[in-house]
Amino acid sequence: MRRIRPDEVARARRDPRLLDAAEYRNEIIRGAYRMSGDAWLRQGNCADAEPDVMYPEPREPIDAALAMCASCPVRTPCLVRALEARDRHGVWGATAPRERRAMIEVWKDINPLAVGA
């Protein structure tokens, strides 16, 4: 696996998807969790998708998965799940694996209650 470049990490720190995920995680910690862990999975646009769409082979296009994520009502909790699990494969929360690798580096340093506090 290739190294994550500093510019990728810097870009991840400003990514609105990551900032939304951090705020969502803070809501969970504060007790404002809106859905159970199982319920949000069933509400995703990908709930009935073929696994190959969300887990394409390396170097295969991910446009179909990202398009499915674009209007997904559970995009943010999906990204939180992927970041918490440090999942570097597949498309989660409208992010490509390459983007998420940089986000994971930032995620582990984010104070859970610092964003939006």
> How many residues belong to the chain?
117
**Cβ contact 93:69 at 8 Å:** yes
DSSP structure string for 6-23:
HHHHHHHHH-HHHHHHHH
Find out whether 43 is annotated in a ligand binding site.
Answer: no
Which tokens sit at 26?
A: 């803070």
25: left (phi over 0), alpha (psi -120 to 50) or beta: alpha
Find out whether 78 is annotated in a ligand binding site.
Answer: yes
Find out whether 46 is annotated in a ligand binding site.
Answer: yes
Find out whether 110 is annotated in a ligand binding site.
Answer: no
Position 88, amino acid: R
Residue list, annotated binding site for [4Fe-4S] cluster: 46, 69, 72, 78
Residue list, annotated binding site: 46, 69, 72, 78
